[in-house]
Each structure stands twice: as C-alpha cells, then as structure tokens.
Amino acid sequence: MRIVLLGPPGAGKGTQAVQLAERFEVPHVSTGDILRFVVAWQTDIGQRAKSYMDEGELVPDDLVLELLKIRLAQEDARAGFVMDGFPRTLPQAESLDDILSEIGHKIDGVLYLEVPDELIVLRLSARASCPTCGRTYNLHASPPKDDMKCDRDGSPLITRDDDRPEVILQRLGVFKRQTHPLIKYYEDRGILRTVQGAGSKDEVLERMVGELDDMAGRSS
C-alpha cells in the first residue's frame, strides 16, 4: 500500500497519516518530520532547511529529494508507506514516480484533504505537539489532560515556529501556488480522491478508509 496525503497546512495530514499507517502496517513518511529532525541536529543541511521553513517557504526540491530517497531506501518502507507532505511541487511528484518505477512500484492512491482556510487558521493556532513521541494536540478540541503535558509520556508540549499567524498565511499561499496543481496531476492519472477534512478525527479517518477501500475494490 503506497498512499500519498495531499492537503494544505493544518488539514490533518499528519494526524490521519499516523492512523492510516497503523491500520495498514506501513511506515508514516513525513518530509516535515524528517526536515525538523535534520534541523534539530544543527547540521549545514539543517540550517539551510530552517531558513525556508521559518518563513513558510518550501525547502528546495534537491534537498528534500535527497532526504526522501534515504528514507525510502530503508527496509521498512519497501512494503509501502503513507506519505505526508511530499510531493509538494510538480518536479517532486515526477521524481517520486521515477523513484518508484525504478523499483517496479507506483502510488496506489492519493487522498486530498480539503479544509476551509478559516478552519486551518483555527487548528494551527491551537496546535501543540510532543517533542518526544510526536503526538499532536488541538488545544481547543482535544487538549491534553494535564496542562501542556503529553498524555502519553508527560513531556512538556511545544508549539511550532511556523505556526505563527503571519507564517500560517504564507504557508497557505505557498500551498495554493505550488502544491494545488498536483491535484490535477493525480486526477489525470485517475488515482485522486477528495476527502472533506472538517469533522472529528475519527469521522475524517473513516471517510479516508472508505475511499481507499473503494479504490482497492475497483482495481481488483
């Protein structure tokens, strides 16, 4: 199972990718998480990536592709993945097709999570995440039980540098200009389904699973 989740910032890609990856027993591959990991190590590559991420701009394709290839070459990704945050540009989408076709595979389905801008701004301004286990919280809809501490491991929760209001708007603009064209790219290949991302996390998950089941049924 090789699934790509497309959607604007704050659509719920990361939240749903974790659930889908568990359900289909494949890894969750997030270029945002990989980049934040590289940034935390304060390497030259990390410093270069951070300068783009802090401004809400896309990190250059060559750098992201280099990191993605390393991740996809790992053993656990051979049987499939749920990809979140990649591709984000047409050259990235074409490169992903090339990488997969070299090993005789292709993307099975692309789910586009559609969410209104107002909800995105609300969600991202209320996001906190655990630096230890990566779990994210919506401080309004599903806050942690103990004030700003992770329910799972008790770590103090953090907010992301790129969730400042002015950077959220910038990221939304970047999505519309650079990533939205991928919807047509995958529609033309007949592998895209649109899922409404408003509603509870469980409701959205069931909609996504329903679309994936439907696609699998049609292709068998």
Phi and psi at residue 104, to the nearest 5° = 75, 25
Nearest approach, Cβ of residue 43 and ligand AP5 (Å): 16
Interface residue with ligand AP5, options 200, 210, 214, 216 (CB under 6 A): 200
Nearest CA to 121 out of 194, 175, 158, 84 is that of 175
| Extended strands (E) in the chain | 2-6, 28-30, 81-84, 109-114, 127-129, 136-138, 192-196
Q: Which is nearer to ligand AP5, 117 or 218 (CB)?
A: 117
Q: Which two tokens stand for residue 67?
A: 């990191």
> Which residue, 52 or 185, is less far from ligand AP5 as judged by CB?
52
Count of chain residues binding ligand AP5 (CB under 6 A): 34
- Coil/strand/helix, residue 52: helix
Q: Which residue in this structure is represented by tokens 């970047």?
A: 174
Question: Which one, 84 or 104, has the nearer CB to ligand AP5?
Answer: 84
Please report, as residue ranges, which positions from 97 to 116 form the binding site for ligand AP5 (by CB under 6 A). none
Note the residues at the interface with ligand AP5 (CB under 6 A): 7, 9-15, 31-32, 35, 52-53, 56-59, 64, 85-86, 88, 92, 123, 127, 136-138, 141, 162, 171, 199-201, 204
